[in-house]
Amino acid sequence: MEIIPAIDLIDGKCVRLTEGDYAQKTVYHEDPLDMAKKFEDAGLVRLHLVDLDGAKAGKVINHDVLDRIVRGTSLTVDYGGGIKTRSDLEKVFLYGARWATVGTIAVKEPERLEGWLEEFGPDRFLLGADVRGEKVSVSGWLENTDVDVFELIRKYKAKGISQVFCTDISRDGKLQGPSIGLYRKLIAAFPGLRVIASGGVSRMDDLQELRDAGCAAVIIGKAIYENRITLEELRIFIHSDHP
């Protein structure tokens, strides 16, 4: 199971929100590149980079941070937040993202996303399915919808999407444990799909449970920043996964 650390960006700084609430913001590092280098030094190879300014504004804003991290580390980066237009998408790829994370557009403008999947290839995209219950939320979690997460994933898996991360918003940033039951259901429903867990991870035992459930990867944020899980523990976990 792959470990994917998260860096969430507001004003170019590394922050975390609680339940996606911009009013519940904690700044953890002034320089995201410094944090990315620490992840790299710990043996991590991938980064989940979230442009929270972009998600709120509806356009990519923190592409300069993406550029610095890609140039300054060997991490492969998925980048999301504010990718609404073709120029946004091209900018994200130009500045070095391996994958573009798409969520809101998958719900609100499916025809546009389907065109991008055909043009750039589905392997360049990571579907973000953020949920309250099993209903998808969009626009940086500020807007709830009636879209069923299983229907959304089924639709885009048929279009070639091979990896999906699913965040239970009610658990995100609360360090109360991940939604193991939800991930088991997703893995059972979509054989062959890389299901990436996100939200609620607070201790190493959570990682073992997610691995046992069959998750392909897990995104970890606040637990690292608040030292609930250390980078050294993650280094050991990675080696135990790949003896």
Residues involved in catalysis:
8, 130
Secondary structure tally for the chain: helices H, strands E: 11, 12
Euclidean distance between CA atoms 41 and 26, whole angstroms: 24
In this structure, are residues 20 and 221 in contact, taking their beta carbons and an 8 Å threshold? Answer: no
Euclidean distance between CA atoms 225 and 28, whole angstroms: 7
Q: What is the CA angle 221-225-231, rounded to 5? A: 85
Q: 204, exposed or middle or buried, with CB in 10 Å at 0-12, 13-18, 19+?
A: middle
Euclidean distance between CA atoms 161 and 168, whole angstroms: 20
| Neighbouring residues of 17: CB distance < 8 A, sequence distance ≥ 6 | 8, 24, 25, 52, 172, 173
Beta bridge partners of 3: 218
Report H helices in 109-230: 110-120, 149-157, 180-189, 204-213, 222-225
